[in-house]
Amino acid sequence: MQSMAASYSASRGWAAARRCPSPSLPARHVAFSSSSSSRCPVAGAGAPVLPLGIRGGRLLLPCPLLPAGGKNGSSARRTTATAAAASPSAEGDGKLEAAGIPRTLQLGAMILVWYLLNIYFNICNKLVLKAVPFPYTITTFQFASGSFFITLMWLLNLHPKPRLSLQQYAKILPLALIHMMGNVFTNMSLGKVAVSFTHTIKAMEPFFSVLFSVLLLGQTPSLLVVGSLVPVVGGVVLASMTEVSFNWIGFWSAMASNVTNQSRNVFSKKLLADKEETLDDINLFSIMTVMSFLLSVPLMLYLEGIKFSPSYLQSTGVNLQELCVKAAIAGTCFHFYQQVSYSLLARISPVTHSVANSVKRVVVIVSSVIFFRTPISPINALGTGLALLGVFLYSRFKKAKPKAKAA
């Protein structure tokens, strides 16, 4: 009977070994216990283990992937789990840091091109507006130049053509109207006052950015942000009081341009952030430009179409060839600086874009003063510098995050 029991126990052990073989050990090295069950054995509970050459002796080998038990083992397990959880994040952070440098260089190059195109646009546009004081016609010509380059881009397949529904076009239409009116107001201001004064007034864009954040988005700015707007407003007022070329039409046109441009930036950012809209920044700007051109044509014909004619230009003694060259340069720079601006807006926040735009005004103001030899009094320079200082403080305080309260 004992031999039959031993034989039956051995047969059960061989059956269990066949059902759950060890991946790294031959079957003949497995020691069996009479208490082996038909289920897959668990280490430490009657499982097959390696014989150590000692009769009846067995030893459980620790797994190298699992730390030892006890207090130290629990700490080691927590450390291992923490390191395992943190390793993907650390690897991701390393990739982000590695990719941050090329992205910074790309943004820096785009901002530099943006500034250079702005300088050429403002100088050539001011020369054209001095010769032909028709802001609606000049705006229409600039949008026509942009529409030409956009059509060329789509025909040559340099960028995928947009395929939008009527509902999507309806969403872009208000943006195109705001975009068109913003550029009309800018040209009206440039035609009435000096380039430096127009951009001094347009340095108040952060003020309108905060105002729209409170009225439309319900965001409450910090006291430091509100305080930084005081030198902005005070500097613009001081510069306006001492501006030689001050004109109320030019002043309010620049103010209206601030309102339209800031509202356009906010709505454009929302449209680009909408995941349901399959529209990139280049196509959004392109469609807005073409729509703005179509909207500006009837407005131009109604307000300035009768005055603007070849006979009128000849009566004023304007050099048509030189005027057309300057207008073409202004229209080309206008399109590409707007396109670069929209590409930047898709990559940075509206506040950062507003700050970069304010820094751009410093470059444009200095360049226009040197080129046109604009007379500036010390008080006027102080007001302009105070406004730009407020813009710098605004950018610093807007980026600062509130410190977390200690628990």
CA dist., res. 98 & res. 346, Å (int): 21
Q: Residue 177's pLDDT is what?
A: 93
CA distance 154 to 140: 21
pLDDT for 349: 76
CA dist., res. 258 & res. 253, Å (int): 9
Question: Quick one: pLDDT at residue 147?
Answer: 95
Does the pLDDT at position 348 exceed 60? yes
Ranges 6-20, 217-231, 270-284, 344-358, most confident: 217-231
pLDDT in tens, 36-87: 444 444 444 444 444 444 444 444 444 444 444 444 444 444 444 444 444 4
At 405, the pLDDT band (50, 70, 90 cuts) reads very low
Q: Taking a C-beta distance cutoff of 8 angstroms, is the pair 393, 353 a contact?
A: no
332, pLDDT greater than 90:
yes
Q: In the prediction, which pLDDT does 38 show?
A: 43
Query: Does the structure show a pLDDT above 90 at 99?
Result: no
Q: How confident is the model at residue 119 (pLDDT cuts 50, 70, 90)?
A: very high
pLDDT tens sequence across 197-224? 998 898 888 888 888 778 776 778 889 9
Give 29's contacts (C-beta < 8 A, 6+ positions apart).
Answer: 50, 51
Please compute Rg for the chain using Cα positions.
36
- The 8 Å CB, 24+ separation contacts for 49-55 are 50/25
Measured distance CA(64)–CA(178) in Å, rounded? 67
Say what the pLDDT of residue 287 is: 92
What would the pLDDT profile of 145-201 be if each residue is shown by its tens digit?
Answer: 999 999 999 999 988 888 888 888 888 998 899 999 999 999 999 999 999 999 889
Least confident of 210-224, 242-256, 294-308, 391-405: 391-405
Taking residues 383-395, report their average pLDDT: 86
Which tokens belong to 259? 């309102």
Predicted TM-score (pTM) of the model is 0.67
pLDDT recorded at residue 248: 92
* Both tokens assigned to 367: 């360049």
pLDDT higher than threshold 50 for residue 336: yes
- pLDDT mean over 274-298: 83
pLDDT for res 101 = 66
Q: Which of 181-195, 253-267, 331-345, 390-404 has the highest mean pLDDT?
A: 181-195
